[in-house]
Amino acid sequence: MAETTRAGFVALIGEPNAGKSTLLNRMVGAKVSIVTHKVQTTRARIRGVALEGDSQLVFVDTPGIFKPKRRLDRAMVTAAWGGAADADVVVLLIEAHKGVTEGVENILAALDEYSNPKQKVALAINKIDMVDVEKLLALAKDMNERHHFVETFMISAEKGRGVDDLRKWLAKELPEGPWLYPEDQIADLPMRMIAAEITREKLTLNLHQELPYQLTVETENWEERKDGSARVDQVVYVSRDGHKGIILGKRGETIKRISRASREELSEFLGRKVHLFLQVKVRPNWLEEAERYGEMGLDFKDGN
């Protein structure tokens, strides 16, 4: 390792579905945060670790910032702003084709309140392939008139355009100091939580409408086997009996499909065989249970 190293935290903030998880995964080069077509899928502050030259970038992928309605919503938004306040550098991600929405205006108004005055805040305009250059330039000008951003980047997190430039800039902006994690570590979440997130992603992709927001997944047991494989037991908690039936599906076909997809991705992630066993349990009040929030990496008190 070089004599002068840098390390620090980078918070990615923005509205739900702005592309924060996709950008995090692109930066890290591995899937450490779930990416779905549904909004508000990231519940905990997931840290992904990336290396750029002599710098170690620790990304905090915060939940999307939106107007909270439920206890879980409030806890997620508090976690998002907490991630921003603790970071060395903040990157606000907005969608090029949506421009300055009401949600973006609310985030800009709150930035001064929540961010540290010493922090550097950069703007990343995402999904640039969806609009023409003139609109992009106009949006960048508008945003910089509303808030002082130290840098503005035009990116496509999904296709990787502009991401290298953003990562190199971030690497230079971090404070000097020793690396915070081992060189080969890409996330600081416990493997049990990553496994639960993978299964929750498969549930989100396979279920429709509001149901994904009414469930949570917990890894109850993780057993290392002598042959190098792992046995993983997970529980899907839902609020109603009807939800349980939907997840199980006709003759159990839906839960089998979800389990197979989750097992395959988890095996690929770990580079070894995984035996995954899923159960679905009804807990009517899980959204009001402190233990469930702890498993998601959220603070129950933040939902008050």
What are the pLDDT digits (tens) for 72-88? Answer: 556 655 565 565 667 88
Distance CA 94, CA 141 (A): 14
Q: What would the two tokens of residue 151 be? A: 């840098």
Q: Please give the helix or strand (H or E) that residue 171 lies within, else none.
A: helix 163-173
Mean pLDDT across 207-232: 80
Residue 48 above 70 pLDDT? yes
State yes or no: pLDDT of 20 exceeds 80: yes
- Are the CB atoms for 221 and 231 separated by under 8 Å? yes
| Pairwise pLDDT comparison (176 vs 48), residue with the higher score | 176
8 Å CB contact between 62 and 91:
no
- Is the pLDDT at 150 greater than 80? The verdict is yes
At residue 9, the 3 state secondary structure works out as: strand
Q: How far lies 182's CA from each of 7, 46, 51, 59, 188, in Å? A: 12, 17, 11, 15, 10
Burial of 108 (0-12, 13-18, 19+ CB in 10 A): middle
Mean pLDDT on 158-164: 94
Alpha carbon distance, N-terminus to C-terminus of the chain: 46
Helix (H), strand (E) counts: the chain: 9, 9
- Say yes or no to pLDDT of 12 above 60: yes
DSSP state of 94: E
Question: In the structure, what pLDDT confidence band is assigned to residue 155 with cuts at 50, 70 and 90?
Answer: very high
User: What mean pLDDT do residues 98-120 have?
Assistant: 81
Contact between 35 and 268 under an 8 Å Cβ cutoff? The reply is no
> How much is the pLDDT for 223?
87
Return the minimum-mean-pLDDT range out of 84-93, 118-127, 163-172, 230-239: 84-93
d(CA 230, CA 270): 10
Q: What is the pTM of this model?
A: 0.61
What's residue 183's pLDDT? Answer: 78
- Strand order of the β-sheet with 215-224 is 215-224, 230-238, 274-282
pLDDT at residue number 32: 60
Q: Is the predicted pLDDT of residue 230 greater than 80, yes or no? A: yes
Q: How confident is the model at residue 182 (pLDDT cuts 50, 70, 90)?
A: confident
Confidence of residue 39 (pLDDT cuts 50, 70, 90): very low
pLDDT of residue 1: 47
The residue among 218, 153, 200 whose CA lies nearest residue 40 is 200
**Span 197-213, average pLDDT:** 75
- Residue 207 confidence (pLDDT): 80
The rounded distance, in Å, linking the Cα atoms of 119 and 26 is 23
Contacts of residue 293, defined as CB under 8 A and 6 or more positions apart, other chains included, come to: 72, 75, 299, 300, 303
